Amino acid sequence: MPWLPLEITSIRFSRTPHKPNPALLLDNVDGKLGTLTGLQLEYRIHRDIPGTACRWLRLNRLRILQSLQVPRSPEFQDLIDDAEELGVITFDQGDHLEQTDIMLSARRRDDQRTVHMAISLFRDIANDDVSLARERADTLSTIMGTPAIPIVIGSSIAPAQQEFADSLGVATITTSRLTI
């Protein structure tokens, strides 16, 4: 079987009957439900965020650079790879940026300058989520050479976390669509 990677020459599957553990089955269902809910949420946000961003942030010519529905273009991937290879960003920063849920590019209506947005989705927004969003936007800004707006979207944010987000310049959006 020459197509198998590395030194793998065969794969065998066991057909040994086993009794399923009900607790593990429930965990598996919960995990799949969470994944399905997350995918549905990202689809809805992907559908709604262009209009929302254009209205709230006074933007136009919005393009989706990366999301679950829009794979990262080879040109954008090359920019990330080149920045890593040239030492402009670290490999960890590149990895974190690639894990951003949605990245957008747009122009500001008032001065036509290009801006980018790094959008991260979380169920409940915590300080670590806010910090991560800020770091991802800073990395995106470094690579693209333009301002980047960090945005976190979640079902809720406590007042202390909102204050922390405000202090870091991270935009927050709360939506009831994150609840099951």
Q: What are the boundaries of each domain within the chain?
A: 25-178
70-123 confidence digits (pLDDT tens): 888 889 999 999 999 999 999 999 999 999 988 999 999 899 999 999 998 887
Q: Report which secondary-structure segment, H or E, holds 38.
A: helix 22-57
Q: 110 and 58 in contact (C-beta within 8 Å)?
A: yes
Model confidence band, residue 38 (pLDDT cutoffs 50, 70, 90): low
